[in-house]
Amino acid sequence: MKIAVCIKRVPDSETRVKIAADGKSLDEAGVKFILNPYDEFAVEEGLRLKEKAGTGEVVVIALGPPAAQETIRTALAMGVDRGVLLQTPGLHPDGLETAKALAGELKDAAFDLVLFGKMAIDDYNHQVGPMVAELLDLPCVTTVAHLEIAGGKGTAEREIEGGVEVVEFPLPAVLTTDKGLNEPRYPALKGIMAAKKKPLDIKPTAPGPGALEILSLTLPPERQAGKIVGEGSAAVTELVRLLREEAKVL
């Protein structure tokens, strides 16, 4: 099994968002960066599939600033064989441009599977995986929460509103992973030491400008604390009246 996993460096989910002076981006001062949590599921699945096959390679590819090397080292410490950094000065909100750069790196290598997270927890774009699949003309299943692969074919399950879709696809394929697929391993000390010696290729990359222009990044309006209608079940009648007459939602 030859597997590629695309991974992104993102701000930790606990980050308190502060807007930078340009009014268009996150103030990164003091922000801790991590491997995108959904990409951890993808890395873990890649490792498990390779282990099950008994042979093969798992490669991670990240597009991002020089600091994304640390993100790649995290994946290497989990057990990934090697990493590629498509090094850019920064990241762009246009998922299509990211997808084009990743597809360019992936197109000549014959991977059995290319794995992505279902979304990055910073931009919530939810698109790079299926876009890469289209650009490479590969079959693709997104938000996979259950996966079986055998004999060059796969069956995946993905959650939809009010149910679960069962999807069949041939390999090679692109998959994006959802929570529930597996429990990602923690890098062991041995893995962390080994990661330092694993190959990490750095390739300067210049994604296109794209057709999306950021106008602003703002904090959402604060919700005003409302009123305490009252205490205990005695307050219910008044609550229902307010919901009908004031909020007009009933």
Partner 1 sequence: MSHVLAVLEQRDGAIRKVSHEVVTGARRLADALAGGAGVEALVLAAGPVRGADQLGGFGADKVITLTNAAFGLYAPEGYARAIADRVKAGGYGAVVFAASATGKDLAPRVAARLGRPLVQDVTDVSVQSGAVIAIRPVYAGKALLRVRVAGHPAVLSLRPNVFTPVQRPKAGSQETAAVDASRGRVVVTRIKAAPAGSLDVAEAPIIVSGGRGLKEPANFRVLEELAAAFGGRAAVGASRAVVDAGWRPHADQVGQTGKTVSPTLYVAVGISGAIQHLAGMRTSKVIVAINKDKDAPIFKVADYGIVGDLFEVVPKLTEEIRKLHG
Ligand X SMILES: Nc1ncnc2c1ncn2[C@@H]1O[C@H](COP(=O)(O)O)[C@@H](O)[C@H]1O
**Per-residue x/- track, 183-212, partner 1 (CB under 8 A):** ---------------------------xxx
Single out the residue of 185, 154, 186 nearest to residue 170, CA to CA. Answer: 154
80-99 binders of partner 1 (CB under 8 A):
93-97, 99
Q: How far is the CB of 62 from partner 1 (least distance, A)?
A: 19
Instruction: Measure the CA–CA gap between 47 and 42, rounded to whole angstroms.
Output: 9
Q: Please give the Cα distance from 229 to 241 (Å, whole number).
A: 11
Query: Which of these ranges, 54-62, 73-81, 104-112, 226-234, lies near partner 1 under the rule CB under 8 A?
Result: 226-234
Among 74, 98, 142, 182, binds ligand X (CB under 6 A): 98
| Partner from ligand X, partner 1, none binding residue 223, C-beta < 5-8 Å depending on class | partner 1
Region binding partner 1 by CB under 8 A among candidate stretches 70-78, 104-112, 193-201, 236-244: 236-244
Contact between 150 and partner 1 per CB under 8 A: no
**Which tokens go with 7?**
């991974």
Q: Which of residues 26-65 bind ligand X (CB under 6 A)?
A: 36, 38-39, 62-64
Q: Least distance from C-beta 221 to ligand X, angstroms?
A: 25
Distances in whole angstroms, Cα of residue 31 to Cα of each of 13, 14, 87, 109: 10, 9, 20, 35
The answer for 6, left when phi > 0, alpha when psi is -120 to 50, beta otherwise, is beta
Judged by CB, which is closer to ligand X: 1, or 63?
63
User: With binding defined as CB under 6 A, does residue 174 bind ligand X?
Assistant: no
Query: Which residues in the 60-79 window bind partner 1 by CB under 8 A?
Result: none
CB contact at 8 A, 200 and 73: yes
Q: Are 90 and 25 in contact (CB under 8 A)?
A: no
Q: Which stretch binds ligand X (CB under 6 A): 76-84, 90-98, 145-153, 218-226?
A: 90-98
The verdict on 21 binding partner 1 (CB under 8 A) reads no
128 forms part of the interface with ligand X (CB under 6 A): yes
Element (H, E) at 84: strand 82-87
Distance CA 135, CA 138 (A): 8
Angstrom distance (rounded) from CA 90 to CA 48: 32
Stretch of residues binding partner 1 (CB under 8 A), selected from 50-58, 62-70, 117-125, 199-207? 117-125
Amino acid type, 55: T
Cβ proximity of 10 and 70 under 8 Å: no
Backbone phi, psi, residue 155, to 5°: -125, 130
Smallest separation (angstroms) from partner 1 to the CB of 158 = 7
**Which of 24, 48, 82, 126: binder of ligand X (CB under 6 A)?**
126
